[in-house]
Structure 1
Amino acid sequence: MSRSPATPRSDSFGHLTDGRPVNRYTFCNKNDVTVRVIELGCVITDILVPDKGGVVCDVNLGYDAVQDYETNPLSLGAICGRVVNVISNARFQLDGKEYHVTKNFGNHSIHGGKKSFTHKLWSSWIEEDKVKMKYVSPDGEEGFPGELTTIVTYQLTNQNELIIEYSATTNKPTPINLTNHAYFNLAGHNYPNLDDHVLQILADKYTPTTEEEIYIPSGELRDVTGTMYDLRQPVRLGDTLGQVPLGKGYFNNFCVENADGSLRLIATLEHPPSGRRMEVYTTEPGVQCYTGADTIPHTQGKHGAVYEKFCSICLETQHYPDSVNQGNFPSIILRPGEVFYSKTVYKFGLMD
């Protein structure tokens, strides 16, 4: 039987410092699109797509060696959890009990804590044309209640869709909010800026932050009309990044219009010089847009690249930040007997 072009194959990505082996999986479809993922952190290490002239380039930031992914301070390409984004003051109340989680972002918690899903070695297997990865987070890990069993599924179709599906179950009530933290540059992972990228986010509201803490949401859902966060019409990033307050670019959650749990288009990213285009679809109610101003400068990346401020963009599909402490945000609480499910699609192609 012949192998389907998008059926994954496995090989070794090396060993952790403690000697454990790390498997890598490679998808290749009929359109010269290649995606590679590894068990450590469920990381997407490579996304290679052709431009309008057929030249294939890696548009996903990453590292060369498995040891770099062991630390991975920027969560490059990784699954973040069990709660992505911020939890203010690293605490929350659930069913009348207060929980304290790991502080790893000043006074707050971010992306699941110091030893989050990003840093775990997941078990993995191939199932037809998909790769599935599983991690069982023990009760109390990073301060979160309940044993949480999570499965992440990767798939590449011949329509150039990179499909990510998430499912999870728990034995105690617990918050869950998962995303993949891929950093994109459609000109190539080693290109120095985003200036010629054109971004559109189909969101009529966003979650502003407090005056005291620019990363902590105030709890308001604010209309984007008349603000620099109105990205409903395509905008050239080179014309907008410098206008965002404090020169930090975008670090904002946008609210998916009419989110009802169905898969819907939330964002498009285009790079006219190369002709590459990426569409983002999700069942999630929000997308965090991050343009890497404050954490990414002068990071040594793969193939000799050095990543700098505003050289990449993340479009992290997720529930809103700090949802556990904001009663008017969609709930992220998972209870025993329930199944958490989420789906995101990054679809690559060429501009019309």
Structure 2
Amino acid sequence: MRSIAVAVALAVSAMAVPNVQAASVKYAPTVVELKRENFQKVVDGKPVDLYTLRNRNGVTIKVTNYGAKVEQILVPDRKGVFADIALGFDSIDSVMAGQPSMGAFIGRYANRIGNAKFTLEGKEYQLAANNGINSLHGGAKGSRFQVFNARQLSPSAVELSYVFKDGEENYPGTLPVTVVYSLNDKNEFSIDWVASAQDKATVANFTGHTFFNLAGDPTTLNTDYVMTVNADRYLPVDKNLTPTGEAAEVAGTPMDFRKPKAFGKDIGADFEQLKLGNGYDHHYVLNAPATAGALNFAASAVDPKSGRSLEVWTTEPGVQLFSGNNLAAKAPLDAGKGGRLFAFRGAFCLEPSHFPDAPNKAHFPTTTLKPGEFYTGRIVYKFGVKK
């Protein structure tokens, strides 16, 4: 059970960082300057804006409170040249017309719920079937389509909050969630959240859904990146990409990333799971840390050409590995900053969370919250350079 009384990580993340000054940096010519006024709009009666996080090294992250979406991440390569490694858009209108999950904080339930229904305390809840027969990422209007309340906590942190109402998307129970995005001088971007069930038993599962292209060019493929995933097992899926309930060994299969491997090495293998997902779109069962609830290494990726690297750490039990199979270089969904089109497999996602379809799989780690219980979690994206 994930009942936690105090969200210590949130308090730490919210601490102000005084006198943050951006370093003098050199930007790649492809970097698009995001203008705040292009994100300022009223959506569903609520103000939308653009917020900036910056550390002393010049690393810069820009997010909008529409869907709590990350729109830009500027980090250096081995030559010190900064490029934008997050796929995103340069206006709120483009965000709303573009890839719906891109950069978002996903809830009330991240990933898929099979057959768009689940039973809780003897009552069946029918959800929106917005992904074939499944419900995906909270339904027809989950958090990725909602305007969060937002306030800048410091030059390197922003707080975003939203209240899922009882009956919203036909989920039971009132569920307020507060999310803090923060950036420290170790070039670590943290997502910390705390949610609490208010009045009814409910289910909850959150994740971050940034699409990464470490080369800083979304027209290029991700297949040369060297990927590592800290998992001996993964969750096989059926034809609807819903977990079958099995936790299969990765050993001896193209799903094995326990040792660093080029992302595209096996992506075209004659392997049923890769055919079902049109590439990687699978949840990995992370090898458990020595201390329960501790921050755990989930995965890493390195672009050999630029040297840019990413490590992902989390408190969650699994991570979804996605190879950008839904990108197709077609406007408006794939028309990113500066009008550049996102190539098929032009980015990857690493989405730490609880398991897909857990409400229908009693042997999966529970995602049920009873009234008065808390769900806290943390994801840390560590940006670096490999010489």
Secondary structure class of the residue paired with 2:169: helix
Match status 1:197 vs 2:232: no
CA distance in structure 2 between the aligned counterparts of 1:63 and 1:189, rounded to whole angstroms: 13
Choose between structure 1 and 2: higher strand proportion.
Answer: 1
Give me the TM-score of the superposition, normalised by structure 2.
0.86
Of 260, 266, 287 in structure 2, the residue corresponding to residue 240 of structure 1 is: 266
Q: What's the counterpart of residue 142 of structure 2?
A: 116
**CA shift digits 1:134-179 (9 cap, x unpaired):** 1011100001000110111000000000000011012211110001
CA distance in structure 2 between the aligned counterparts of 1:348 and 1:28, rounded to whole angstroms: 13
Of 336, 340, 345 in structure 2, the residue corresponding to residue 305 of structure 1 is: 340
Q: What's the counterpart of residue 257 of structure 1?
A: 287
Which 5+ residue runs of structure 2 have no aligned equivalent?
1-16, 23-34
Give the letter for the 2:231 counterpart: A
Shift of 1:296: 4.5
**CA shift digits 1:51-108 (9 cap, x unpaired):** 0011110000011210122344441100111001100111001011111111101111
CA distance in structure 1 between the aligned counterparts of 2:18 and 2:369, rounded to whole angstroms: 42
Q: What's the counterpart of residue 181 of structure 2?
A: 154
Q: What's the counterpart of residue 380 of structure 2?
A: 345
CA distance in structure 1 between the aligned counterparts of 2:96 and 2:171, rounded to whole angstroms: 22
TM-align CA RMSD: 1.9
Residues 16 and 66 in structure 1, CA contact (< 8 A), matched pair in contact too: no
Residues 180/2 of structure 1: CA separation in 2 closer, same or farther (3 Å cut): closer
Shift of 1:301: 1.2
Match status 1:3 vs 2:15: no
Judge which range, 59-68 or 11-20, deviates more: 11-20
CA distance in structure 2 between the aligned counterparts of 1:226 and 1:195, rounded to whole angstroms: 20
Match status 1:87 vs 2:113: yes
Match status 1:43 vs 2:38: no
Of 243, 247, 250 in structure 2, the residue corresponding to residue 221 of structure 1 is: 247
Give me the TM-score of the superposition, normalised by structure 1.
0.94
CA distance in structure 2 between the aligned counterparts of 1:72 and 1:116, rounded to whole angstroms: 16
Secondary structure class of the residue paired with 1:238: coil
Match status 1:65 vs 2:100: no
CA distance in structure 2 between the aligned counterparts of 1:95 and 1:18, rounded to whole angstroms: 33
CA distance in structure 1 between the aligned counterparts of 2:117 and 2:52, rounded to whole angstroms: 39
Secondary structure class of the residue paired with 1:209: coil
Correspondence 1:13-28 to 2 at 5 A = 13-16=39-42, 20-28=46-54
Secondary structure class of the residue paired with 2:285: strand
CA distance in structure 1 between the aligned counterparts of 2:217 and 2:66, rounded to whole angstroms: 21
Residues 235 and 246 in structure 2, CA contact (< 8 A), matched pair in contact too: yes
Give the letter for the 2:177 counterpart: T
Which 5+ residue runs of structure 1 have no aligned equivalent?
none
Residues 89 and 107 in structure 1, CA contact (< 8 A), matched pair in contact too: yes
Match status 1:175 vs 2:199: no
Residues 39 and 123 in structure 1, CA contact (< 8 A), matched pair in contact too: yes
Secondary structure class of the residue paired with 2:265: helix
